[in-house]
Structure 1
Amino acid sequence: MDTLAIVILNYNGQPFLAKFLPTVLANADGHPVYVADSASSDSSVSFLKANFPAVRIIELPRNDGYAGGYNLALEHIRTHFGGATYYVLPNSDIEVTPGWLSPVLDLLKANPNIAACQPKIRSYNQRDLFEHAGAAGGYVDWLGYVFCRGRIFATFETDLGQYDDNRQVFWATGACLFMRADVFHQTGGFDGSFFAHMEEIDWCWRIQRLGYEVWACGQSTVYHVGGGTLHKSNPHKTFLNYRNSLFMLYKNWPADGRLWPKIMLRLVLDGASSILFLKVGQWRDVWAIIRAHFAFYGSLPRLHSQRNTLKAQQTKEVSLFPHSIVWKYFAEGKKTFKEM
């Protein structure tokens, strides 16, 4: 069994593989590098075979998104390659740096209770700034809205070393997610119904309910392009983010009798947020929010079953950020994590 498997999920990302895979291989520290291809229609697989013989290629039968794709790929590694103690899942548009692996692995090895971890995520194009997808570790507020140290809504902090510590957080980003392999498989992996976006946050919430911890490692840094597979301006991304946020909240919110009041308030706030899209003429995003709500209603029987199962398995209560990040940011004008 390998100590670490570096696993990149790819879908029609041949240009990103050409650009960033060499740095991953150069800084793999002897660990195997896998590319799991989700039935790409471009030349990704032939390109890999011709140019990167050291890469272990997994050809998946279809595109099941981030969640389903990694579920299939990591199970394949376990059953066909002998598995690994840890996985790291860098996006195909991640530029790694020398020494990026050791600090995170040292942290995981020192504390067996840490099941997920991330490095600092900085912007590839504005290299001093934290990047949208994860920044320096994430949190979830009491209404299920997510935010990060270093990035809250449209405010991106400059990395001045303020988050160079190792710290327990609520979620670690899927853009470059380190995880303990046995915990991933024990928990059934990601929820495939999410397809993409927030599946890692849902998984981090679930593993904390089982008593594990999630951390951010400030001694490791990578750079992320962002939107490599699905750009932020794509209405389908809006749909996935709004729908999956509701999925996650319904599945995991504590059984304290306040679930439905929170869901109803979220639905109202989601509706209000559509006004921002209307102001700039993004009608397709407004329709995406409406579709996300109806998709949530249609999934309630399955979500209710999942909620009951997770409740029966839970061994620990999990605390959320006790305030509304929306109110803090837009009403109180608090734009950085330190101000929160």
Structure 2
Amino acid sequence: MTESTPGTRRPWTVPDDLLARIAARAPGYDADNAFLAEDLDELRQAGYLRIGVPVRDGGSGLGLRATAAVQRTLATAAPATALGLGMHQVWVQAARSVAARGGTFLQTVTDAAAADRLLAFGVSEPGNDAVLFDSLTTAEPDGAGGYRFTGTKVSTSLAPAWDLLSVFGKDTSGPEPRLVHGFAVRADGGVRHLDDWDTLGMRASQSRTTILEGLHVPAERIVRVLPVGPVADPFVFGIFAAFELLVASVYVGIASRAVTLAVERVSGRVAMDGTPRSADPDVRRAVAAMRSATDAIALQVDALARDVDELVDHDRWFPLLVGTKTRAVDTAQHVVDEALRVVGGSAFRASDELARLARDVRAGQYHPSTRDSAMRTIAAAEFGPLPR
């Protein structure tokens, strides 16, 4: 029995009154292009940053499956809040995955989350489509086991508020290049965020460009050094599985909310002849198809997250993960577009919740793995790698 199963401790959920306040703030964050500061404060107080921390360390002991359910619920109220704070949960779940497979090198992550400290990702780089398997950032050894990082990171969610920022770069000082992963704290200095997050959607995440200017990370906060290129390592798997499935869960939440809004709006309308709009067979068919598609992606995300928790050994883990993430995003976008069509012109206002969902949902195509990258991964699993 895992920590998050019934019988050990009741799984953590977002309190209903807090969820309502988060939903009420979402339009303002979006309109003002403002960071989710109040959401973070209230969720921190409610124990959200610790939901994946083991019970023995003061957390709620949620695994990936239960955390994905929390993220899905949070996304129905405020997608940008769910996506941004989900980056913290990705790290916590990556640490759980590593620990479950016998590793201790991400204890720094668990300790930080247990202390309600906010974790963020400094991984994505402009022009780097290899993501975790190569880096354009330089990692220069300091001679004592630490490194100085210099480079540019993009899409750094939680930029205004993180306590620990993961960074990685490439050390070319030895005979073979190595990828170095570590954690910076704000007091380290050497980190500068640009105020450049003026996007179509997911605005409250404030995922700003980050400049690393010789950032020094001491040896005790260097957590992994790996070769360049794809590698079977629990660190890579932990990050990849948590990222793909927790991001996918946000888009499942968006799709679910779009269906709910479509049903609510349609149910309150009557045609000129007195027929309820909800009795229109075309509307009923459209809404049924939307709900069916949403159920399918919800079940797939849930099943794969359960398998991560239960240490299932899929021989096709990476194709399954990238396929699920891209399918969730594509399905959510289709469902939101169908909801806009069913509801009609009243949803075509910038202030309408469906219009905000239509903008937020389009961010999904930019998160790794992108559709093109995912299809390459799946094709390689079927045919083998392309000949050199």
Calculate the TM-score normalised by the size of structure 2. 0.27
With structure 1 as the length reference, what TM-score do the two structures score? 0.30
Greater helix content: 2
Give the number of the structure with larger relative contact order, counting CA–CA contacts within 8 Å between residues 6 or more apart: 1
* Structure number having the greater strand percentage: 1
The structure having more radius of gyration, on CA atoms, is 2
